[in-house]
Amino acid sequence: MYIRCLILCIAFVLATASKKRYDGNILVSVTPYEEKHFKVLSLLEDTDEINIWNDIRRNSSVHVMFNNATAPWLMGLFSSLSMKPSIMHNDVQALVDQEENEIQLRARSGAPRGIHDAFLNYDEVTAWLKELVGLYPQLCTLISIGKTYENRDIWLIKCTGNNGATNKKKACLDFGIHAREWISPATGVYIINELVSKYAAGGLSKELLDTWEFHIIPILNPDGYAHSHARERMWRKNRKLVSGTCYGVDLNRNFGYQWNTGGSSASACSDTFHGGSPMSENEAKALQNYMTGKSWNTYLTFHSYGQWWFTNWGYTTANPPQYDELKQKANIGANAIKAVHGRAYTVGSSAQILYVASGGSEDWTRGALNILYSYCIELPPTGGTGFIAPVSEILKTGLETFAGVAAYLKALP
């Protein structure tokens, strides 16, 4: 027992020593209400002065992280622009440490890391998917739709009922396009498990699998996600080397419909770097190659955080085609989510509610593949600790998201 504990302690020290620390970083809320405020925030992020956590929205709280050493002039700048700066958390590293301690406490206990009580890393999700397919071969198949820059598989699990029905509707769902949004892959895993493990019991899972063919990618950004677990908790992009010192492309700015027409960055070090060309990244190409040539009824991409259900057309403030229909269907899902725990989602165009952001996957599936019901869903929370969600959020978010997605899918023609 002593040797085992010693080995675990050494492993913990080595693991934590190799991770990027956020000592001296604070998380601050600011409120932009003019176009110039958006430009200021974008410039500060491009020059690595701040790190923006949530989506920028007019007249609403935007959460920005920066080092306390720069706080006097940044707080002064935000105050001079009447952006109402206020400190949300004065020690980001303490939040990261709390999350890491929870992970290590479970590891030292010897308890298995279950899908409801741990944010599984890439290797653990891979192992779980393979085990699930082994348990339910009549319902699921697992394929790699491509390889990443660091040669990881981009896994897709196809799930459908074995009731013999033909001409089933098809849904493509992806999660984890941004590495630090851990609640997204956890929710994807929850939905997969809910569909497959409860099929035999009948009820909602059986109804969905007997009428739908689900194509689910639980981690669309494997390299970035693995990096956020092993090295840099707040990492967002993929891990391709794009210049001498800068890594990563924002995959949700890299898709080929209306690419680089606003709301992305040409700076290779920026968190919203759109890449050197549309569809330049392996992950975007993998999704493109898999989805093109098939008939789809809906596409859903899951991010965090903010509690939004966004329609397509993030690249423009103009209404997307059939906007009222899109909102009507999204509201069915949002209402079902709210009915579980009371958490409200805002429905609408991301460009109208927030700001323009081009190169998103939901715009590409609508514009290039003509999938009318293409949406981006931003999971909880709306504030609090942001990306560093407690483990208890896995079950809570999973339950309500499954309810919302199920209600939405049942409403589609």
Angstrom CA distances, 326 to 342, 371, 373, stand at 22, 11, 7
Q: Report the alpha-carbon distance of residue 139 to residue 207 in Å, rounded.
A: 13
Please list the residues that pair with 265 across neighbouring strands. Answer: 273
Helix (H, G, I), strand (E, B) or coil at 249: coil
Helix (H, G, I), strand (E, B) or coil at 115: coil
Please list the residues that pair with 273 across neighbouring strands. Answer: 265
Burial class of residue 342, CB neighbours in 10 A (0-12, 13-18, 19+): exposed
Other CB atoms within 10 A of residue 130 CB: 13
Q: Nearest 5°: CA angle at 316, between 313 and 317? A: 100
- Find out whether 173 and 188 touch, Cβ atoms under 8 Å: yes
Q: Report the alpha-carbon distance of residue 115 to residue 253 in Å, rounded.
A: 30
Task: Please give the DSSP secondary-structure letter assigned to residue 395.
Answer: H
Q: Report the alpha-carbon distance of residue 258 to residue 278 in Å, rounded.
A: 9
**Catalytic-residue membership of 49:** no
Question: Which entry of 194, 213, 232, 378 is annotated as an active-site residue?
Answer: 378
Please list the residues that pair with 393 across neighbouring strands. Answer: none
Residue carrying structure tokens 């009371």: 342
Compute, in degrees rounded to 10, the torsion defined by CA atoms 367, 373, 376, 379: 180
- Catalytic residue ranges: 378
